[in-house]
Amino acid sequence: MTDELKQEPQQDETEDQAVTNEAEETAVDTVTEDEVRVAPEEDKIATFTGEADEDETYTYEELQAASEDYTDEEFHQLADMYEDTLNEIEEKEIVTGRVVSVDEDYVIVDIGFKSEGIVQANEFPNEVLEDLAPGDEVDVFLDQVEDQEGQLILSRRKADILHAWETIERASETGEIIEGYIKRRIKGGMVADIMGIDAFLPGSQIDVRPVRDFDAYVGKTMEFQVVKLNMHAENVVVSHRALIESDLEEQREEILATIEEGQVLEGIVKNITDFGVFIDLGGVDGLLHITDLSWGRVEHPDEIVSLDQRLNVAVIDFDEDTKRVSLGLKQLQPHPWDEIDLKYPENIQVQGRVVSIADYGAFIELEKGVEGLIHISEMSWTQHIKHPSQLVSKDDIIDCVVLNVNEPEKKISLGVKQLEKDPWEDIDKRYPVGSKHTGTVRNLTNFGVFVELEPGIDGLIHISDLSWTEKVNHPNEIIDKDEEIEVVILAIDFENRRITLGHKQIEENPWEEFAEEYSGTNQVEGEVVNTTDKGVFVKLPHNLEGFIPASKTEADGEPADNFAEGDSVKAYVIELDETNKNITLSQREQDVKKATKSSGKKSRSQKKDSAPQTGTPTLGEMSGLADLKEQMAAKEKSEAAQNLEAAEDEEEEAGDEQE
């Protein structure tokens, strides 16, 4: 009741009014104060009990109309009671009202207030709106008692949301299961609609197994458990996995109680990593390590298994303290090394796949779990292989020969070169020592020339065997790569598979011929090719060159004053040094006699010694031609041995330059 009604003054009563009031008092005596009651709070209306003992509901306007039947005091009393009911209605709360009418746009609801409230029809779910009829009770949210127009503002949607938050809060406290609808996918998980409230469902909380297709869950209705709630931030986090785990816990305890080593169980591939596979055994996860997937080599577990695949696995270890289960798949298959000697006898030709390449060889997979090694030395009879990748690549399928099987250490030695005939078996028949051949320069090094006699068969010409007369500092002064060159087989090393070649040996040794012609005191005639302060250079027969020191000339004075280029001169040979390509001459007879005398003593001393001499032959030594030839032959053998040793030391460097 308003203040205006409370302050309304009473009018003077007339006699007629007194009579009327007396009649009314008689009538009111039938309705005691105890029989007046206020409806429950949820009704928010005034209810009176009459003589017929029937409940009748009155609005505020009806009370005003009925005031004519009551005295002012009685009317004010009833109005105060009605006003008290209005004071109990508070904003921002859910109230229950009765539907007055329903149309396409609005639902009129009476909550027992002065006026009726209007709720938009679209705030009701379609299924609720279809069945809604006048007289039905509905819960609505009292948003505002009176707006600027005095209208009662109600909301069905806000009432539903408030109900939803109350339900979610209760579920968070009690663990009650609630139902929701997956609306869409977002980063990290899904959005679930819980009675109109958006809740976050993390991807890890959807299932006990990793979810691979999140989109498959969109549109599904699922049960959840509230795991986190922040009412102020309106943040709700739910989990479906928690419900599954609670169901699996009993099954997990049963498995852990009965599991033991050697047991074979069925599981589902739950997750695949680089190092292994996690298998769901029915509430218990076990690890199937990559090394236990197959007896053979496995690069990645997805070569063997796939997600969600069902398979049998063996329990190879169980840690009761940590509850960790180690599983194996290969243990359910026969070991491939059983009776290996029968499957792969020596000298049998087999085929395999290159699975790994190392510096020292290539590993060949003959079957899953059986691998052999082709050592780099067993790859070619003739080629100097620096790395196996020169011949094979990973995943190549190649033929090879079983050389040896070591069953205790599970090693198999294989070879590739054994598929072909060893070209060195009859090398001495095809290339006998002293025979002449034509080859191709394959590579040049500081110490010599590598010549290919045939594919895979190379020989080395040491730099000292390139020319009898020229002083060669590098082979490229005489020959270029890929040119053809004539060679002589000087020596064959079967053990190290090396051939020593010579180029200068194609021609006769001019030093032997020169020594034979100009031994003793014979003079040699030559042509001056150059003069220096220290002496004169003279071109001699057999394309040799000699030197007359200034002190060994006949004339006094500087050599340039006494000799000119092109002059013909005669001189005696007093020293012959083939190793250093030096011939020392003299025009003075006393030098010849002196050289003959000193060399005679040396020659007699050498005869007492059975060992061959390789020193520089002088004039006296040249007088014995047979001795000179023997000394030269011994020197050639010594040089050949030195050449072979140099080739061994530097062959690796030469191979690098060739590549």
pLDDT of residue 403 exceeding 70, the answer is yes
Q: Mean pLDDT throughout 506-534?
A: 76
Domain-wise residue ranges, the chain:
3-87, 93-160, 259-332, 340-419, 427-507, 510-623
Going by C-alpha positions, the residue among 247, 265, 246 that lies closest to residue 256 is: 265
Q: In what order do the strands lie in the sheet with 55-58?
A: 36-38, 46-49, 55-58
Measured CA to CA, the distance from residue 201 to residue 213 in angstroms comes to 15
Report pLDDT digits (tens) over 279-326: 888 778 889 999 999 888 888 998 889 888 899 999 988 887 887 889
Asked if residue 1 lies in contact with residue 79, where contact means CB atoms within 8 angstroms, the answer is yes
pLDDT band per the 50, 70, 90 thresholds, residue 530: confident
Going by C-alpha positions, the residue among 176, 189, 179, 186 that lies closest to residue 221 is: 179
% of the chain at pLDDT higher than 90: 16
Q: Mean pLDDT throughout 544-553?
A: 82
**Residue 132 pLDDT:** 74
pLDDT band per the 50, 70, 90 thresholds, residue 414: very high
- CATH architecture of the domain covering 93-160: Beta Barrel (2.40)
Cβ-Cβ contacts under 8 Å for 262 (sequence gap 6 or more) = 314, 315, 316
pLDDT of residue 582 exceeding 60, the answer is yes
pLDDT of residue 13 exceeding 50, the answer is no
Measured CA to CA, the distance from residue 484 to residue 358 in angstroms comes to 37
Taking the chain, what is the end-to-end CA distance rounded to the nearest angstrom? Answer: 112
pLDDT of residue 41 exceeding 50, the answer is no
Domain 259-332 shares a fold with domain 510-623: yes
Measured CA to CA, the distance from residue 246 to residue 248 in angstroms comes to 5
Report pLDDT digits (tens) over 101-147: 777 777 777 777 766 777 777 777 766 777 777 877 777 777 666 66
615 — phi, psi (to 5°)? Answer: -75, 180
pLDDT band per the 50, 70, 90 thresholds, residue 12: very low
**Residue 613 pLDDT:** 44
pLDDT band per the 50, 70, 90 thresholds, residue 425: confident
Measured CA to CA, the distance from residue 120 to residue 149 in angstroms comes to 17
**Residue 33 pLDDT:** 34
- Say what the pTM is: 0.45
**Residue 147 pLDDT:** 61
- CATH architecture of the domain covering 259-332: Beta Barrel (2.40)
Measured CA to CA, the distance from residue 581 to residue 342 in angstroms comes to 66
Report the mean per-residue pLDDT for the chain. 75
Asked if residue 559 lies in contact with residue 531, where contact means CB atoms within 8 angstroms, the answer is yes
Provide the phi-psi class of 22: left if phi over 0, else alpha when psi is between -120 and 50, else beta: alpha
* Range of weakest confidence among 39-43, 74-78, 570-574, 650-654: 39-43
Task: Reduce the secondary structure of 587-641 to three states and give it as a string.
Answer: CCHHHHHHHHHHHHHHHHHHHHCCCCCCCCCEHHHHCCHHHHHHHHHHHHHHHHH
% of the chain at pLDDT higher than 70: 72
245 — phi, psi (to 5°)? Answer: -65, -35
Provide the phi-psi class of 653: left if phi over 0, else alpha when psi is between -120 and 50, else beta: alpha
Which CATH code for domain 510-623?
2.40.50.140
Which CATH code for domain 340-419?
2.40.50.140
**Residue 277 pLDDT:** 92
Give the pair of three-digit tokens for residue 481: 């790569």
Asked if residue 253 lies in contact with residue 237, where contact means CB atoms within 8 angstroms, the answer is no
How many residues would you count in the chain?
A: 659
Q: What is the amino acid identity at position 75?
A: F
**Nearest-5° angle of CA 264, CA 270, CA 272?**
105
Task: Considering only residues 495 and 94, tell me which one the structure prediction assigns the higher pLDDT.
Answer: 495
Report pLDDT digits (tens) over 612-630: 444 444 444 443 334 444 5
Kind of pairing, strands 152-155 and 117-120?
parallel
Report pLDDT digits (tens) over 229-285: 887 888 889 988 887 777 677 777 777 778 888 888 888 898 899 999 998 887 788
Torsion, Cα of 336, 341, 345, 351 (10° steps):
10
pLDDT band per the 50, 70, 90 thresholds, residue 413: very high
Report pLDDT digits (tens) over 450-466: 999 888 788 999 988 88
pLDDT of residue 345 exceeding 60, the answer is yes
Q: Mean pLDDT throughout 30-35?
A: 34
Q: What is the amino acid identity at position 168?
A: I
**Nearest-5° angle of CA 229, CA 234, CA 236?**
40
User: Hunting for tokens 């200034």 — which residue is that?
Assistant: 550
Q: Mean pLDDT throughout 391-417?
A: 92
Task: Considering only residues 285 and 372, tell me which one the structure prediction assigns the higher pLDDT.
Answer: 372
514 — phi, psi (to 5°)? Answer: -65, -45
Which CATH code for domain 427-507?
2.40.50.140
DSSP bridge partners of 536: 531, 548
**Residue 80 pLDDT:** 65
Longest CA–CA span in the chain (Å) reads 194
**Residue 70 pLDDT:** 67
**Residue 82 pLDDT:** 57
- Identity of the highest mean pLDDT range in 36-50, 55-69, 478-492, 508-522: 478-492
pLDDT band per the 50, 70, 90 thresholds, residue 500: very high
Q: What is the amino acid identity at position 539?
A: K
Residue 62: CB atoms within 10 A of its CB come to 12
Task: Considering only residues 655 and 32, tell me which one the structure prediction assigns the higher pLDDT.
Answer: 655
Report pLDDT digits (tens) over 185-216: 988 899 998 888 889 999 888 887 777 788 88
Going by C-alpha positions, the residue among 433, 466, 462 that lies closest to residue 641 is: 462
Report pLDDT digits (tens) over 628-645: 445 544 555 455 455 555
Asked if residue 299 lies in contact with residue 310, where contact means CB atoms within 8 angstroms, the answer is no
Residue 330: CB atoms within 10 A of its CB come to 21
pLDDT of residue 6 exceeding 60, the answer is no
pLDDT of residue 356 exceeding 70, the answer is yes
Q: What is the amino acid identity at position 325?
A: V
pLDDT of residue 521 exceeding 50, the answer is yes
Give the pair of three-digit tokens for residue 323: 């509850």
